[in-house]
Structure 1
Amino acid sequence: MPITITVNSADQTRAVGQALASQLRPGDLVMLSGGLGAGKTTFTQGIGSGLQVKGRVSSPTFIVARVHPSLVGGADLIHADAYRIKDLTDLETLDLDSTLDQAITVIEWGEGKTEQLSADRLEIEIHREHGGVATSSNGVVDLAQMDDGKRRITIRPLGKRWEGTDWETVFSAFEDGQEK
């Protein structure tokens, strides 16, 4: 059964990721989907903060995969981007399956490409409304007006790993777009 959380800012998106981190353990696969600028990396920053990993979590688009070692003796965070992955051969070059059981793996743009890595996974869609008006009074576009920070985060737990997880408690701090 999917869990949907509405947030109103990038900070709240990070906070949801941080709350999720409390449930993650080595071997977990998290697949993130959503359009450009939806907040996939922002969400992963929250996971990284919750896991207390080394390094700034940033978009892995050009690196393809980045390892963030744990600072507290926990599992490493592997943050990957499958946007340029076209087929199984491309996926194999990332060698994610060799570290999957030891690390927490978060893959952006993985839908339709990385599901075979694990039947037990979280599929998370981050949706933002498109639109807004870019205004320019002096030739500079104000992108802040294009994005009000509102997102709808839908988490779909798949597999036995997630059976019995009390999601209501995990995300109890978030209600109707307001962080308690």
Structure 2
Amino acid sequence: MAVTLSIADPNAMARLGAVLAAELRAGDTVLLTGELGAGKTTLTRGLGAALGVRGAVTSPTFVLARTHPRVDGPALVHVDAYRLRDAAELDDLDLDFARSIVVVEWGAGLLEHLVDEWLAITIERPTGAGATGDAREAANDDLNGAADDAPIEPRTVTIEGVGPRWADLGWLHAARD
């Protein structure tokens, strides 16, 4: 079963991260899929804030994986798999899937070979929705905080559970409020 939500702005995306955080525990994996500027890192920032991680949650693009420790509870491991070619390279990062909460951006086709269960989240941003050229790009970047004066376009977020752990997504009703 998949749940589809309309997320109006960066604050709503961060709130969705907080709703997710309330359900996550050690051993959970989240797979984020979406274009550049869709809001994957914004979602992860909201998740990290709700988990109470130490330090700022930023995109791990250049380091591939960042571990955000918590005072109490499992660490949040934030992975950017964009430059990885296959599951073996993701496995080589030696991530602690069992004792951490792992969020993997750009991991579709890689993650499935390493874990049995995950929460798959796809974030879609509108394209060609009235803005043109630089204005549309600025609006899309705004969800990640890059532009302050551009219009914000809502995102469509589809959440699907894979495996028995995520068979019931009823808790997502809190995200609709």
Instruction: Name the TM-score, length of structure 1 as normaliser.
Output: 0.84
Which residue in the other structure is 1:22 paired with? 22
- Listed as ranges, the gaps of 5+ residues in structure 2 are 140-148
How many percent identity over aligned positions?
41
C-alpha RMSD of the superposition: 2.0
Q: Structure 1 pair 28/146, CA: closer, same or farther in 2 (3 Å)?
A: same
| Partner in structure 2 of residue 84 of structure 1 | 83
Unpaired segments of 5 or more residues in structure 1?
175-179
Partner SS for 2:98? coil
Of 142, 152, 158, 2:156 maps to 152
Whose helix proportion is higher, 1 or 2? 2
**Alignment partner of 1:171: what SS?**
helix
SS of equivalent residue, structure 1 residue 5? strand
Q: Who is 1:12 aligned against? A: 12
Does residue 51 in structure 1 map to residue 54 in structure 2? Answer: no
- Count of aligned residue pairs for this structure pair: 166
- After superposition, the Cα gap between the structure-2 partners of 1:173 and 1:38, relative to the gap in structure 1 and judged at 3 Å, is closer
In the TM superposition, residue 130 of structure 1 has moved relative to its aligned partner by: 1.5
**CA distance in structure 1 between the aligned counterparts of 2:90 and 2:106, rounded to whole angstroms:** 12
| d(CA) in 2 for partners of 1:39, 1:18 | 14
Matches within 5 A, 1:1-180: 1-71=1-71, 73-96=72-95, 99-131=96-128, 132-134=131-133, 143-144=138-139, 148-167=152-171, 170-174=172-176, 180=177
Taking the aligned partners of 2:75 and 2:62, their CA distance within structure 1 comes to 20
3-state SS in 2 of match to 1:105 = strand
CA distance 1:31–1:70, change in 2 (3 Å): same
Alignment-derived partner of residue 177 in structure 1: none
Which 10-residue stretch deviates more, 123-132 or 76-85? 123-132
* CA distance in structure 1 between the partners assigned to 2:20 and 2:30 by the alignment: 10
SS at 2:23 equivalent:
coil
Instruction: Name the SS of the counterpart of 1:22 in structure 2.
Output: helix
Q: Which amino acid aligns with 2:104?
A: I
Shift of 1:156: 0.5
**TM-score w.r.t. structure 2 length?**
0.86
Q: CA deviation at 1:134?
A: 4.6
Bigger Rg over Cα: 1
Distance in 2, matches of 1:165 and 1:150, equals 22
- For 1:106 and 1:67, the matched residues in 2 are separated by 10
Is the Cα contact below 8 Å between 2:45 and 2:57 reproduced in 1? yes
